Chains A and B, each alone.
Chain A
Amino acid sequence: MGIIEVQNEIIDEFSLFEDWMQRYEYMIELGKSIELIDSSKKIDSNLIKGCQSKLWLHAELNNNKLIFKADSEAIITKGIAAVLLRVFSNQTPEDILNANLDFVDKIGLKEHLSPTRANGLISMIKQIKYYALAYTKN
């Protein structure tokens, strides 16, 4: 599935929820089945800056698709990371670079991705794009 299709799928899923509590419960569930980063990769160089809780991200190229794995100490951060990974993982570097983040607003998570929030998620998106950029050049 291309990035836009995944984003639309996620928007549809989230549109079923009536309030923040249901959205958060769903995100927490998503977090539980995130592509977990290898414990050997939970090193300082994979830490995302700007977090109150530790958030790790790692990527590997496989058949011209970037596979992302992540983990976080905080459950909600993990849940949001899981949503982002669903969108960006297993996609080509070019597609990742060209993707926009409009879907974030539509699923009511904009507040979590503001640069001033101490959860590092905006930095995580930057890091995802940097990985894509690095692999595009290659």
Chain B
Amino acid sequence: MTLDVNKIRNDFPILKRKVNGYPLVYFDNAATSQKPSKVIASITDYYENYNSNIHRGVHTVSQEATDAYENARKKIQKHFNAKHSEEIILTSGTTHSINLVANGFTSLLNCDDEILISELEHHSNIVPWQMMCEKNGAKLKVIPLKDNGELDYESFLKKLSNKTKVVFVNHVSNALGTINPIKKIISESHKLGAAVLIDGAQASSHLKADLQDLNVDFYTTSAHKLCGPTGIGMLYGKKEWLEKLPPYQGGGEMISEVTFEKTTYAELPNKFEAGTPNIVGAIGFGYALDYLNEVGFEKIEAYETELLDYATTRLKSIPNLKIYGEAKNKTSVISFNIGELHSYDLGTILDKYGIAVRTGQHCAQPVMDFFGISGTVRASFSFYNTKEEIDYFYESLKKAVAMLS
């Protein structure tokens, strides 16, 4: 049975709104996803009925909040098939997660070591590592891109050596939608003793990663990309790795004993969860995963592939339109330019028609530099978008081009 998109759209209150007098056509899902009523209700429910600080209190409400928070962790563990729940660290999102790991590796690597980063990465999976290399002298090497938006796998194999200590690749590229062959990359990296961190922020709303099957060392994601609230995400790390890394932030919760002479640290996961966490965010994260699993990832994947194919065909019929990144495997993202028109101009006019797309460099300047462009228009579709919206997008795009030419 296929996805019933009209029924699903009823679950998302924001899809009823208008922008500039036109129905909102939300094609900026790679920036953030919209939220279903169940997730929104879970937030109100928490604050109305059982808000309390967690882990520390002996009173009932505190226990209810603690149970809900830890239950969310278990939902995330189950969804991603992590072996232990303490391998799921709740963070404020992917950027925080990556910084946590980069901080951890600062003292573990030195100037004899190399790290390999893909050219496709979002700045959040480049900058923390550059900052780390400045501190410990490790060398940063790049896995190059190919014209079709795929990583040059042969080049990756050549650059991988026994000096390589960590490899970083995104599961799905935010700029182009390319799905990277991470299982192969992980396997090859492990042969040479390198750990692998996969940035799963863009993948998690489209496909379900099985972390044990992938045998990945670190995996990060953000809830707001997968119908969950902002300000919450997770870092998965294999237990052996998380035990090796030193804590990132110091404070309450992450300690075992505190004296001014010496402080000892808590066990996992608390070691990496200093301070009062985003409790309601974690609960919302859990509800978002519940919702997506109810809809069903096979249905989501199949439907989004239909949308991608439909949109690609329609857009390709526009003269001078160029799509960047046409990997064999990609998610429902189309990054494009039309002739010499600047993406900012197209995005501004599309907005007047109620269409939300993203323009610019998408926090992936290396990708833009690779193609020699200043930016693109990026339309990213989700399982609550429709073919009718794509038709409207196509017509509006033609009007925008006419106005700007």
Contacts and interface: CB of A to CB of B under 8 A. Distances in A.
B114 to A, nearest CB: 33
Interface in A1-58: 20-21, 24-25, 28, 52-54
A52 B375 contact: yes
A118 B344 contact: yes
Contacts of B361: 52
B256 interface: no
A30 B360 CA distance: 24
Nearest to B347: A52
A93 B20 CA distance: 38
Contacts of B374: 53-54, 73
A28 B403 CA distance: 8
B372 to A, nearest CB: 14
Contact of A21 (B341, B375, B403): B403
Contacts of A118: 344, 360
B40 interface: no
Interface in B180-223: none
Contacts of A76: 344-345, 348-349
Contact of B352 (A24, A53, A73): A24
A53 B344 contact: yes
A121 to B, nearest CB: 11
Interface string B347-358: 011001000000
Interface residues of A, number: 15
Contacts of B352: 20-21, 24
The contact size tier of chain B is 10 to 19
Contact of B403 (A25, A54, A77): A25
Contacts of B348: 76
A71 to B, nearest CB: 12
A74 B349 contact: no
Contact of A52 (B341, B359, B403, B404): B359
A74 B345 contact: yes
Interface in B325-383: 341-345, 348-349, 352, 359-361, 374-375
Given A52-B375, A76-B344, 17 more contacts: A21-B403, A24-B403, A25-B403, A28-B404, A52-B359, A52-B361, A53-B374, A54-B374, A73-B374, A75-B341, A75-B404, A76-B349, A77-B344, A77-B345, A118-B344, A118-B360, A119-B344
Interface of A: 20-21, 24-25, 28, 52-54, 73-77, 118-119
15 contacts: A20-B20, A21-B403, A24-B349, A28-B403, A52-B344, A52-B359, A52-B361, A53-B342, A53-B344, A54-B374, A73-B374, A74-B342, A75-B341, A75-B342, A77-B344
